[in-house]
Amino acid sequence: MSGGGRIRRRALGAGLAAAWVARPALAQGAVLRAAHTNAIGEVQDEGLRFMDKRLREITAGRLGLQIFPNGQLGNELPMIEGVALGTIDLAVPSHAAFANFVKEYQLLDMPFLIRDYAHLAKVAGSPAIAQLAQAAQGRGFRVLGLYSSGVRHLMTRGPVNGMEDLKGRKIRTQQNPVHVAAFNAFGANATPLAYGELYSALQVGVVDGAEAAYTNYVAQKFYEVAKHWTTVGWLSLTAPVVLSERKYQSLAPELRNALVQAGEESAVFERQFVVDSEAKLIEQVKAQGVTILEPEKAPFLQAARPLYDRFLTSAADKARLQSIQEVA
């Protein structure tokens, strides 16, 4: 991370510490401001709508969400900062963005770590993920669940038949060091870019392509500006549902319990929603006349292997990696 990023994290940490002044728990209800970057009806939006419904049911209307979709309250990094500083109550950033604030989530950035959706469903309830949530709590974030953002492939302006076709191409990645390193390892010119800028960047050729999942490829109509789809499956992107620990502790105990229950129930619902939606999304992609290519994955796997040792350096990282790999 850059020096500016470290300074930002120290400043946020100081702000959170200053905010931990004892205050009485809210006896009355509340409506939490919840932000995400998906379009309305996309997977994270559906997950939060389910969570809002369950919260209102469990608490008899005392607690609910006011949902701000499509980056209305900012892109992912400002959104997480908003949670830390209290201007946003709850957010659903990608784990890749969240790793800038809680480095342990970098584990989930390892290419090809999560084998499929069934594996993810089991991993989400594993001790390794519980340890990541504990690390987040130590930095002022309460993680209420782990959403799926789908398996990531490639959308490009020109065809990519294999890894060799990525050489020199500008491929948009998230603002995350592992993602940048992965696409550089694949031979591309990795180009970090805010999600809200991606459509126009593809349209005018600032970037030649980007990694994406079926869900946002369809919902954001990226097929209009990137007509080639290459099924690499390089990453299963997840999205923790995060609340500031300060906000969590300000609520009455029964409302905290409701948040934990509704958060986990919504995560189970959302992950299954991703699975159920994908077959329909694939048909929608085909209907748009997109060229769908299926390259040999072995070169990608081989290129990605050194990243594990490069980024997972601590004994704790390696133990959690092994734990996830051993989940049947």
DSSP structure string for 16-82: HHHH----PPB-S-EEEEEE-SSPTTSHHHHHHHHHHHHHHHHTTTSEEEEEE-TTTT--HHHHHHH
Predicted confidence at residue 12, as pLDDT, reads 52
Instruction: State the pLDDT confidence band at 20, using cuts at 50, 70 and 90.
Output: very low
19, exposed or middle or buried, with CB in 10 Å at 0-12, 13-18, 19+? middle
Predicted confidence at residue 28, as pLDDT, reads 60
Please report the beta strands in the chain, taking only residues with DSSP state E, as ranges in sequence order: 30-35, 63-68, 90-91, 141-156, 170-173, 189-192, 209-212, 228-244, 291-293
Burial state string for 208-244 with b = 16 or more CB within 10 A and e = fewer than 16: bbbbbbbbbbbbbebbebbbbbbebbbbbbbbbbbbb
Predicted confidence at residue 195, as pLDDT, reads 87
Predicted confidence at residue 192, as pLDDT, reads 93
Q: What is the mean pLDDT of the segment spanning 28-36?
A: 89
Q: What is the mean pLDDT of the segment spanning 249-256?
A: 96
Instruction: State the pLDDT confidence band at 163, using cuts at 50, 70 and 90.
Output: very high
Query: Does position 268 have pLDDT exceeding 70, yes or no?
Result: yes
Predicted confidence at residue 8, as pLDDT, reads 45
This prediction's pTM: 0.85
Mean pLDDT of the chain: 91
Rounded to 5 degrees, φ, ψ at 123 are -60, -35
Are 149 and 239 within 8 A, CB to CB?
yes
Predicted confidence at residue 21, as pLDDT, reads 32
Instruction: State the pLDDT confidence band at 6, using cuts at 50, 70 and 90.
Output: very low
Q: What is the mean pLDDT of the segment spanning 245-251?
A: 95
pLDDT one-digit tens code per residue, 92-119: 999 999 999 999 999 999 999 999 999 9
Query: Does position 29 have pLDDT exceeding 90, yes or no?
Result: no
pLDDT one-digit tens code per residue, 117-128: 999 999 999 999
β-strand 170-173 against 291-293: which pairing, if any? unpaired
Query: Does position 16 have pLDDT exceeding 80, yes or no?
Result: no
Query: Does position 174 have pLDDT exceeding 90, yes or no?
Result: no
pLDDT one-digit tens code per residue, 56-82: 999 999 999 999 999 999 999 999 999
Query: Does position 315 have pLDDT exceeding 80, yes or no?
Result: yes
Which has the closest alpha carbon to 316: 128, 168, 171? 128
